[in-house]
Amino acid sequence: MSKMRNKIQSQKFILVGITIVLLFTGCMINGQFLRPANVANILITASLLGFVASGQTLVVLSGNDGLDLSVGGVMSLGAVVAYIIMDGSDGKLLKAFFIVLFVGAVVGLFNAVGVVFAEIPALVMTLAVSNALTSVQQLITGGNPTGAPSPAASRIATSKVAAFLPWLTVIWIALTFAMYLLLTRSTYGKRLYAVGSNERAAVLSGIQSGRIRIYTYMICGVLSAFAGFWLCAYNEVIYVNAGASYVMPSVAAVVIGGTSIAGGRGSYMGTAAGTVILTVISSLLVMMDTNEAGKYMMNGVILLVLLVIYTRHPKIRQ
Amino acid sequence: MKWLEGKLGYVLLAGALVINICLQGIGFFTADSIGALFGSNLPLLLAALAQTVIMAAGGIDISIGNTIALANGIIIVCLNAYGMSFSGSSLAAIAAGTGVGLVNGIIIACFRVPPLLVTFAMSTFIKGLALMILPKPGGNVPTEVYRTYGGTIFMIPTALVILIVVVVFLVLAGRFRITNHMTAIGSNERNAYVSGVRVELVKVTAYAAGGAIAALSGVCLTALTATGDVRNGESFALQSIAAVIIGGMLGSGKWKNYILGAVSGALFLAVINNIVFYAFSYVSVNYPEMQISTYYQQLFSNFIIIFGLMSAALAERRNRRRGR
């Protein structure tokens, strides 16, 4: 047990170390890198990714090869729905917000039906749902969304508390705290870890593992939709599948953060650190004028290296 | 109903075929219609075969979609920029596909990282590579290539001939020792290891073979579309996995069943697309006042894939409960 704790501790130091090295590299390449405006931009992108990655963390923790590839689809759908309903008026802000969260919960429930009841591999089910969500978006928008975020929402999403601290990041910090409480202090959190690390033992000690899984997918859906709402508020203009680029980083952030892909071990703090690292890397790549192809390749290589470092299984003969 | 067990893929396919024939009428049996069905869906069928080779060995490969796209890009660039022949560029593409499979296999087998995540990361990398090779859609292939692909050999559609050759080859490959070892690993890796199977080597072979078949699928896709576009390969990943699961043979542990299951699952998906297409054109011809967006077609096929997956998974679970 102490060995494992040591491993997690050292992992935290590695994460902090990587972040510092990255920031330093950024300064070396371009002196403007740590300007407050740039830091604020990085933090806003990190916050949006952080919302998505929080749901992903829960799903991965639930074990049984849990993975939600529909987060991008739910995020895009949430953004499109918020965009259409708000239609530039403050009066519809709350209505839009709650409808978006409800939509996220419904998609999460749908995922859960496939994964928990029909026992389709989570990856396959969520990928299929993700494809279906693309058609749903095209259907409700006719391929070209019209609308606008409400001014109040976009003011919150784009304004800053201090020169380098955007309001979105304050929301993210609050969410991080909430996730911390949820995972360490609540019954749900304890049960989630139990189900993730050993489902049979959890069931034998009276936990309804299916129910916990269903909740997990629904919470993940709600959090992704929440991210979609803020994506809409921040971006002003929304297109179909605007959130698709968040799927792969959300998985990467969870893996970098040290959450075991087999489930039952890990924390949201790690994911948050992973989120920051990924965002800094991608902003470095933007700064170095990497084109789209280079960005994909870099992301792939980074994830591969991290996977080889973090997620190795023991040898068969052990 | 006992004889139906484990044959859900065939049942679904037969049902879909009947509906298709009802909608399309006797025209379904013409050589043109069957040729078009196989011609436009051969890439999917081959992708499903690639996936089933890997899934037989207990793995999964999400990068198949982008491997197909990469093969497409390589062929177009070799043809147009380097002036190579079609067969030469196809060989280059297949070599690249095998290379991708080898990298996947080595990372998965030797570093023991979960296949899902490795191929997911590789998929992103290959997408970047394909975009670097062919940044913008375009290019063309010689006329005789797509003429041959869309034509017939001895009255049989070329695509069907290719499919039969590949399936026969794969079924015969079931006699090799290495395919036995693959299914052994797929059933229980630990037992296979204890019985002396060289797990690493066999896994790497499975991924390399899968990559090669996926690249072959890319060759067929290039001959079908006659142009290069590396952005539309991704959907093959899900469809190939869905085809293998709908085929319903994953629990059988028999090599031949894996291959035939994958073919029937992929054909089911192909026929479903046909059905949805004919149903919608039927409605729009007979009730012109109803405006139906084409997006409904996609949504409809997506949902049928999901329900196919659910029924296959439920059937398999029922078999498992009975202790099979």
- Model pLDDT for residues A84-96, shown as the tens digit of each residue: 888 877 788 888 8
Q: Does the beta-carbon distance from A300 to B125 stay under 8 Å?
A: yes
Rounded to an integer, the average pLDDT of A220-244 is 89
Interchain contact B302–A (C-beta under 8 A) = yes
Q: How far is CA B265 from the centre of its chain?
A: 9
Nearest CA among B213, B55, B74, B106 for reference residue A304: B106
Burial-class residue B291 by CB neighbours within 10 Å (0-12, 13-18, 19+).
exposed
Q: Does the beta-carbon distance from A293 to B129 stay under 8 Å?
A: yes
Interchain contact A299–B (C-beta under 8 A) = yes
- Please, what is the average pLDDT of chain A? 84
Confidence check: pLDDT of A57 > 90: yes
Interchain contact B280–A (C-beta under 8 A) = no
Cβ atoms of residues B214 and B280 within 8 Å: no
Min Cα distance A276 → chain B (Å) is: 19
In whole angstroms, how large is the CA radius of gyration of chain B? 20
Rounded to an integer, the average pLDDT of A74-81 is 93
Average pLDDT, consecutive stretches of 10 residues, N- to C-terminus, chain B (324 residues): 60 77 72 79 91 87 90 88 84 92 90 84 89 83 77 78 88 83 80 82 91 92 84 81 80 78 87 80 74 75 82 72 52
Identify the pLDDT of residue B94.
Answer: 92
Q: Does the beta-carbon distance from B107 to A136 stay under 8 Å?
A: no
Identify the pLDDT of residue A5.
Answer: 53
How many domains does the structure of chain B reveal?
1
Cβ atoms of residues B249 and B319 within 8 Å: no
Q: How far apart are CA A177 and CA A181, in angstroms?
A: 6
Interchain contact A149–B (C-beta under 8 A) = no
Min Cα distance A214 → chain B (Å) is: 16
First to last CA, chain A: 18
Nearest CA among B9, B104, B25 for reference residue B60: B104
Interchain contact A285–B (C-beta under 8 A) = no
Rounded to an integer, the average pLDDT of A155-176 is 85
Interchain contact B176–A (C-beta under 8 A) = no
- Comparing CB atoms, the residue among A67, A135, A304 nearest residue B121 is A304
Q: How much is the pTM? A: 0.83
Residue listed under structure tokens 């990068």: B63
**Structure tokens, A170:** 């304050």
Identify the pLDDT of residue B126.
Answer: 92
Min Cα distance A51 → chain B (Å) is: 21
Domains of chain A: 36-310 (1.10.3470)
Q: Does the beta-carbon distance from B124 to A127 stay under 8 Å?
A: no
Residue listed under structure tokens 């026929």: B271
**Structure tokens, B215:** 């690249």
Cβ atoms of residues A226 and A102 within 8 Å: no
Q: How far apart are CA B160 and CA B35, in angstroms?
A: 7
pLDDT tens for A15-54 read 777 777 777 777 777 777 777 778 888 888 899 999 999 9
The number of C-beta contacts closer than 8 angstroms across A and B is 138
Identify the pLDDT of residue A4.
Answer: 55
User: Which range, of A143-147, A158-162, B291-295, averages the lowest pLDDT?
Assistant: B291-295
Min Cα distance A289 → chain B (Å) is: 15
Identify the pLDDT of residue A47.
Answer: 93
Query: Hey, which residues 199-218 in chain B have their CB within 8 Å of chain A?
Result: 199
Min Cα distance A37 → chain B (Å) is: 30
Residue in A71, A129, A131 to test binding to B, most B beta-carbons within 10 Å: A131
Other C-beta atoms lying within 10 Å of the C-beta of residue A170: 15
Confidence check: pLDDT of A1 > 50: no
Query: Hey, which residues 12-41 in chain B have their CB within 8 Å of chain A?
Result: none
Identify the pLDDT of residue B1.
Answer: 46
Identify the pLDDT of residue A7.
Answer: 56
| A contacts of B319 (beta carbons < 8 Å) | none
| B contacts of A315 (beta carbons < 8 Å) | 112
CA triplet A50, A55, A60: central angle to 5 degrees? Answer: 115
Q: How confident is the model at residue A103 (pLDDT cuts 50, 70, 90)?
A: very high
CATH of the domain at B230: 1.10.3470
Identify the pLDDT of residue A226.
Answer: 94
pLDDT tens for A188-214 read 999 999 999 888 898 899 888 889 999
**Structure tokens, B182:** 């693959």
By C-alpha distance, the chain A residue nearest B235 is A131
DSSP A116: I
ipTM of the complex: 0.78
- Could you tell me whether strands B156-157 and B152-153 are parallel, antiparallel, or unpaired per DSSP bridges? antiparallel
Min Cα distance B199 → chain A (Å) is: 9
Which residues have a Cβ under 8 Å from the Cβ of B30 and sit 6 or more positions away?
A: none
Rounded to 5 degrees, φ, ψ at B250 are -60, -35
Interchain contact B110–A (C-beta under 8 A) = no
Rounded to an integer, the average pLDDT of A226-240 is 88
Q: Does the beta-carbon distance from B121 to A316 stay under 8 Å?
A: no
Burial-class residue B106 by CB neighbours within 10 Å (0-12, 13-18, 19+).
middle
Q: Does the beta-carbon distance from B238 to A120 stay under 8 Å?
A: no
Q: How far apart are CA B235 and CA A264, in angstroms?
A: 31
Residue in A111, A127, A248 to test binding to B, most B beta-carbons within 10 Å: A127
